[in-house]
Homo-oligomer: A and B are copies of this chain.
Amino acid sequence: MQIALDAMGGDHAPGPIVAGAVQAVQADPEIRVVLVGDRAQIETCLAAAGAPSDRLDVFHCTQVVTMEETPVEALRKKPDNSISRCWQLLAERKVDAIVSAGNTGAMVAGGLRLRRFLKNVRRPGIAAVMPTLRGPCVLIDVGANVSPKAQHLFQYGVMGEIFVKHVLKREKPTIGLMNVGSEEAKGNDLAKETHALFNSSTLREQFVGNIEGRDIHRGAADVVVTDGFVGNVVLKVCEGVFEFLMKMTFKEVLGALNTERGQGQQALQNLVDRYDYSEHGGAPLLGIDGICIICHGSSGAKAIKNALAVAANYARVKLNERIVQELEATTPVGVEEDS
């Protein structure tokens, strides 16, 4: 299992990124990581991590896309940037997967530029795993495609369903459409068209119809389908509410305790660690021929280690082969092939 890791991407790169790679190869003997970025900086970090391994290589490149840059422009102006080099290694089949905590837009744009989509996939979408009262669900798309068509959303449902079945190991996952009310006639034109596509497809038995914002965390659907604009806002709103409420709870609930403050703080910290959005193992860009994992910009070593393990797991469960099979089987009635 060869994984290219963008060593230069992320708020704190390359230190914790390289450290995460070291931890990942130590934890899983099947993982080999190609660290993509400035060789001198990477080697300094590797020396600091103190754990040389023959399963850690460096692919040198000279440029970095920063978090603030406009993705398409940055990729064009900086041909030797670490994100484009990761994509190149994937396209040349020198690696099975790529992982980056860098500029999300540039990561997606790099993939769109190559157009190495799986067979029948019209647009890739980013799938984010979210906690709910009934275990994790998947929200797709969280930002790859901010102006999708109904057919794209339908395919996100198909890809999300395969993901939940084979990665989250749940039988017959349910699919819900993010909307402003549960009635069929609710929402904007995109939501109405997408609703009709699911209802006319072979997935209609798993389709639970429209779900509302508050239903996500109640676990109303295993896969929540939405456009990349709404999904991105939802993901980040969750992060904001989480941050807000945990700050309030730390201050007010722990503040009300005296002798048991220590144990209260430990329990709250466990909860924070479990749901901390920046510590998750990254979100896959589904629909790409290859595995592409996008991590939170603030990812630390642990998050990178998790993301590398997640990438290895996707390859093991043959996620992409299953997506291709399912897309061939589920095309809804009346959808033209070339749209």
On A, residues with C-beta under 8 Å from B are 68, 70, 105, 131-133, 143, 146-147, 178, 180-181, 183, 185-189, 191, 212-218, 226, 228-230, 232-249, 252-253, 255-260, 263-264, 266-268, 270-271, 275
Considering the chains assembled together, what is the distance between the CA atoms of A216 and B153 in angstroms?
27
Considering the chains assembled together, what is the distance between the CA atoms of A37 and B17 in angstroms?
63
Q: Which residues of B contact A188 (CB under 8 A)?
A: 146-147, 229
Given A236-B214, A264-B253, A270-B252, check contact A247 B147 (CB 8 Å).
no
- Complex: chain B residue closest to A238, CB-CB: B241
Q: Which residues of B contact A253 (CB under 8 A)?
A: 249, 253, 264, 267-268, 271
> CB within 8 A of A238: which of B178, B191, B226, B237?
B237
Considering the chains assembled together, what is the distance between the CA atoms of A101 and B335 in angstroms?
41
Given A180-B228, A257-B263, check contact A217 B244 (CB 8 Å).
yes
Inter-chain contact A187/B237, CB cutoff 8 Å:
no
Q: Which residues of B contact A275 (CB under 8 A)?
A: 245, 248
Considering the chains assembled together, what is the distance between the CA atoms of A12 and B21 in angstroms?
56
Q: Which residues of B contact A183 (CB under 8 A)?
A: 68, 70
